[in-house]
Structure 1
Amino acid sequence: MQSNPLLFPSKPHYEILDGLRGVAALIVVAYHLFEIYAVEPYYTVPIINHGYLAVDFFFVLSGFVIGYAYDDRWGKMTMKDFFKRRVIRLQPMVVLGAVIGAICYYFGDGTMFPHIGETPVWLLLLVMLAGCLLLPTAVPIRQPWNEMFPLNGPAWSLFYEYIANILYAVGLRRLSKRWLTVFVLLAGLLIVGQAIGSEAGSIMGGHELTGNHVRLGLTRVLYPFFCGLLLFRMGRLIRLRGGFWLCSLFLALLLFFPRPEVSWQNGLYECVAILVLFPLIVLTGAGSPIRGRFSVSVCKFLGDISFPLYIIHYPIAYLFYAYVAERKLTIGESWPLMLAVGVGCVLLAYAALKLYDEPVRQWLRNRFLRHKAN
């Protein structure tokens, strides 16, 4: 009898990193609810001016956690095993997000998205199927926006996270710390070139299936993800008392920071945040102790709902946009509804976690990862 190589003992979580992921997810929800009031020329969202940088923070977290979870398993784990585990972890909620997006789609017809009523059901179902499989599409069913996932916009970041996972598994995991450092530095130059060198002075983008946005998506994932991997391998963590609360406050300040009027200054700010400050937050979160039942409970709850909240809230935000645009509501008029939508998204995420995500992932693990030994 040979033991099953797919059965690995569970590793303890970095509770503070889980909590920080949840904090970032909450800020993303707030950012997207305020997005209806974004102003040009640089699509600046009021109050939560840099909320889009939460995606780059997520990528740093993901790289660190992937290194922690899988670096020492290669040799006992095949590439197929790795991809099975990643698909089981991510894909159930991706599917639910696409289905919720399709259900919400027609309810958003109106001033904001006037072409929804013209979309045939067969085309909607086709786009939903592509969303369930995380296949980007250029089908313009949500004009005037041209998102690669028009039923659930934030799925674009999961698409690029999958790409980073593939690059890690196929070859980059084999890089020594020295060569991984070189790769990360080169990827950082892409961030600098985009943030400071572009007319907008921003790294914002990646959600459309166009050459410029695809380049932006790859630029946004390569440095943060593999920087996170490098941080794990270096093992030099920062210990700070009250680390979760201080890191949460600092992260929120970074994402709420007002946009400088001069483009290159905003680009410089984004570079500092992505290249330096987000990695420092991750190192502090990973290295700091967490004490007290309340702090532990908060981190666990926020970590549990973080991914469901991120991947299912945007279809509901579309409905909020449609309602606000139809009635031409100001922030002062819409904030009670905005708050109710945000709370509703959290409750829906928790329900999705307990009633769908956890049971489905458990079934998939039992079905595909726990084969009988020969």
Structure 2
Amino acid sequence: MSRTATMSQAGLSRGGALDLLRFVAALFIVLYHVAERAPVSLFAIHPAFGRGYLATDFFLMLSGYVLAKTYGPRVLGPKDQGGGVSTAEFLKRRLLRIWPAHLVMLALFVAFVLVTGAIGLAPQNPQWFQWSQLPPQVFLVQAWFVPGASGWNMPTWTLSALIVCYAGFPAAWRATARIASPWTTLAIGVALFLAVDHAAKVVTGIPAHQLPLRFGLVRGIPLFVLGMLIARLPTTIAPRLADGLAILAGVGVLALQVAGRFDHASLALLGLLIYAAGASGAKGWGWAGLAGRLSFSLFLSNQLVAVVWFGLLRAVESKLGVQGPMLWVAWALALPACVAAAWLFERFVDAPLQVWIRGWSRKDTAAKTEPALA
């Protein structure tokens, strides 16, 4: 079997378990971000809510898996079939996918802070909106060991780490292709993760998968590589067995969180969950396809929606004296509010932006390939 055939067994299935997982991962990240704003902090209710960093780690692994399934065959394929993509071209495509929407959301953040400041409303957490931290956010370098607390649109530290992963992906995927056994490459990836995790704990006292956001490269790259290498594993198991494995892995992760702190075992089960969801194949779930499309917008927009939502809630609470169960209802409604805002952002900002960018890219490519006029 050829190298290309070995590395590109089955592409990414849409409208199935993977799309659903992308949305659930984004939703858990939202829940983690709003946990402390509940009438009683969820972190105080059960320690499991304080392990929301696992949702972000899962998102990073899932990103590596999805990217490998989507672009892996194209990176290795013949150039006359759209393959052999250069690192520069690949990075350009990925930046055009994430950066425009990121800049729009950051502009909305800045507008919100300026408008509320102009009318005399101070932010509840001013440390999140330091102007010195805005330039690293604009250029998505805040996870590249930039000093200071990461504020503004805080979740985008993962995009900052992923940019480096994107830059290294074509070379890493081609290097991986030289090793025949996918199990060998996965073992190397696990060893890399454990070595980095242990080194971080020795140096900082914190495992790599929990490091502060400014060390996002150390945290993100090994997890992304793990997801990428899981995508190499053969997916020849029956869809029904894959569904059972996915359910078993998901239940196992939840059970571990109830039982105690078992991060490495939880990450292993999350890796199994990604593999099983990928092997599950297409389900024809239109709603899951929509959820998958919303995951990026939900990830990108939830921080600003939460700031606005809980700012309004604080104002209403002080004026109307809302208390008890109604406070819990108002807090819980933040989740559907974030999903609704993500749908609006995807529908009216992100999707139109990508349509415009694709049109511009085609024109740019055509202009470069046209012969010069004499």
Query: For residue 82 of structure 2, what is the aligned residue in structure 1?
Result: none
**What is the letter of the counterpart of residue 304 of structure 2?**
P
Distance 1:181 1:288, change over 3 A: closer
**Which of 188, 191, 199 is residue 193 of structure 2 equivalent to?**
188
Structure 2 runs not aligned, ≥5 long: 1-10, 80-84
**Secondary structure of residue in 1 paired with 2:153:** coil
Identical positions, percent? 22
Bigger share in helix: 2
SS in 2 for 1:278: helix
Letter in 2 for 1:112: Q
Is 1:80 paired with 2:88? yes
Q: Report how many aligned residue pairs link the two structures.
A: 334
Q: Map 1:134-283 to 2 at 5 A.
A: 134-136=140-142, 146-148=148-150, 150-171=151-172, 173-175=174-176, 176-177=178-179, 180-181=185-186, 183-190=188-195, 193=198, 203-207=209-213, 209=214, 214=215, 217-236=216-235, 238-241=237-240, 247=246, 251=250, 254=253, 258=257, 266=261, 269-274=262-267, 276-283=268-275
**Alignment pair present for 1:361 and 2:315:** no
What are the ranges of 5 or more consecutive residues in structure 1 without an aligned counterpart? 1-10, 141-145
Tell me the equivalent position of 1:311.
300
Which amino acid is the alignment partner of residue 194 of structure 2?
L
- Match status 1:350 vs 2:343: yes
Higher alpha-carbon deviation: 162-171 or 306-315: 162-171
1:6 corresponds to: none
Alpha-carbon distance, 1:202 to partner: 8.6
Inter-partner Cα distance in structure 1 for 2:255 and 2:354: 35
Residue type of the alignment partner of 1:152: N
Residues 296-335 of structure 1: matches in 2 within 5 Å?
296-320=285-309, 332=325, 334-335=327-328
Partner of 1:103: 111
Question: Compared with structure 1, are the counterparts of its residues 338 and 362 closer, same or farther at alpha carbon in structure 2 (3 Å cutoff)?
Answer: same
Relative distance call for 1:223 and 1:81 in structure 2 (3 A) is same
Determine helix, strand or coil for the equivalent of 1:308: helix
Q: Deviations over 1:37-86 (max 9, x none)?
A: 5979x999766343221111112211112222222223522222201210
**In 1, Cα distance between the equivalents of 2:313 and 2:195?**
37
Give the secondary structure class of the aligned counterpart of 2:31: helix
CA distance in 1, matches of 2:244, 2:343: 22
CA contact (8 A) 1:49 1:257 kept: no
Residue 332 to residue 243, structure 1, CA distance change in 2 (3 Å): farther
- Aligned match of 1:113 in 103, 109, 125? 125
Distance 1:182 1:351, change over 3 A: same
Which residue in 1 is equivalent to 2:4?
none
Relative to the length of structure 1, the TM-score reads: 0.73
When residues 351 and 324 of structure 1 are mapped into structure 2, their CA distance, relative to the original with a 3 A threshold, is closer
Amino acid at match of 1:83: L
1:20·1:247 contact (CA, 8 Å) conserved in 2? no
Alignment check: 8 A CA contact 2:297 2:342 kept: yes
Q: Deviations along 1:9-42, whole A, 9 cap, x unmatched?
A: xx664432112101111122122111335979x9
Please state how far the C-alpha of 1:87 moved relative to its aligned partner: 1.1
Q: Which residue is 2:35 aligned to?
A: 34
What is the root-mean-square deviation of aligned Cα atoms in Å? 3.9
CA contact (8 A) 2:252 2:269 kept: no
**Which structure ranks higher in relative contact order (CA pairs < 8 Å, sequence separation ≥ 6)?**
1
- Report the Cα distance in structure 2 between the residues aligned to 1:231 and 1:298, rounded to whole angstroms: 26
Q: Deviations over 1:289-333 (max 9, x none)?
A: 444x6xx02211210100000111012223455567786998855
Conserved? CA contact 2:253–2:270, under 8 Å: no
1:133 and 2:122 matched: no
Q: Which residue does the alignment assign to 2:6?
A: none
